[in-house]
Amino acid sequence: MRYKNYGIVVTGGGHGIGKAIIEEFVREGAQVCFIDINEDYGKALESDSVFFYHGDVSLEDDLNHFVLFCKEKLTRIDILINNACVSHRGILSQCSYQEFQKSLAIGVTAPYYLSLQLQEELVKNNGSIINIASSRAFQSEPNTESYTSAKGGIVALTHALAISLSGQVRVNCIAPGWIDVNNTESISKEDEAAIPVGRVGKPLDIAKMVSFLCSKDAGFITGETFVVDGGMNKRMIYHGDHGWEYHI
């Protein structure tokens, strides 16, 4: 177990990718503290190795209390996973100032603030920070400005932190594509065929990448963003080619 006795901190760990990350680290022997706004999801994951804090990462007070909680529950802190984010639509649906700010608070400000507050512990243990972005940081659909801005911001935050903490803490980012966080059974064959690997992603695909990037095997990697989307970002799409049609 390569993470035996490690202390891991995760945001947005109650469901989907965050949950898979927690489960993967526990399988590898770690103890995990996580924060989530959904109390039911959070309590369902609690165990001798998993400690849940019910809170909202967009609020400074909740982040401060969560940091204290982590330091109380974990004997050491080696890894910070900034996973939490929320979408508040975009310009076509009149996303408000407050909604846009909340997306940025959760997706960019909280990762920075937790990195700041846990810096001493992470430096002491030559730790890692992993930020979870999205392929939306590089590609867009209409009406996604708040989520896209948050994800673009965390990509930039990643390389900034990597340089500031160079030689002390490695900082990397993962940008998932389509990940089926709800174990959907109705994904069409056409949707799967559109992805070069032939399937939609699973939360465990991202969790495995997180585990690798935090390991000694990735010791020469920092400041990077890895798109994990089954190759979809490499596909060129033109109307009328290879059966693709664009409907106006």
Say what the pLDDT of residue 170 is: 98
What token pair was written down for 42? 């959070």
Among residues 39, 33, 38, 44, which one has the least CA distance to residue 67? 33
Cβ atoms of 75 and 7 within 8 Å: the answer is yes
Residue-wise pLDDT for 78-123, tens only, equals 999 999 999 879 999 999 999 999 999 999 999 999 999 999 999 9
The band of 186, judged by pLDDT with boundaries at 50, 70 and 90, is confident
What does the alpha-carbon distance between residue 184 and residue 186 come to, in Å, rounded to a whole number?
A: 6
What pLDDT, on the 0 to 100 scale, is given for residue 229? 97
Residue 144 lies in a domain: yes
In a domain, 18, yes or no: yes
Rounded mean pLDDT, 28-54 = 97
Residue 157 covered by a domain? yes
Round to whole Å and give the CA distance between 205 and 193.
Answer: 18
- Using the structure block, give the residue that is written with the tokens 């935090």: 214
Residue 170 lies in a domain: yes
- The answer to whether residue 242 sits within a structural domain is no
Q: For the residues 36-57, what does the mean pLDDT come to?
A: 97
Which pTM value belongs to this model?
0.96
What are the helix (H) ranges across the chain?
16-27, 39-45, 60-73, 97-104, 110-117, 119-124, 145-164, 189-194, 203-214
Among residues of the chain, what percentage have pLDDT more than 90? 88
The residues that are catalytic are 147
Give the mean pLDDT of 165-184: 95
Mean pLDDT across 131-159: 96
Distances (CA, A) of 149 to 12, 96, 146, 159: 18, 14, 5, 16
Evaluate if residue 45 carries a pLDDT over 90.
Answer: yes
- The pLDDT assigned to 78 comes to 98
Taking residue 53's Cβ as centre, other Cβ atoms within 10 Å add up to 20
> What is the average pLDDT value for the chain, to the nearest integer?
96
Residue 24 belongs to some domain of the structure? yes
Instruction: Find tokens 């995990």 and name the residue.
Output: 32
**Does residue 196 sit within a domain?**
yes
Q: Please say if the pLDDT value at position 243 is more than 90.
A: no
Domain that holds residue 187: 7-234
Q: Is residue 111 part of a domain?
A: yes
Could you give the angle at the alpha carbon of 98 between the alpha carbons of 203 and 19, nearest 5°?
A: 15
Total domains present in the chain: 1
Q: Look at residue 185 in the predicted model and tell me its pLDDT.
A: 77
Looking up residue 36, the CATH number of its domain turns out to be: 3.40.50.720
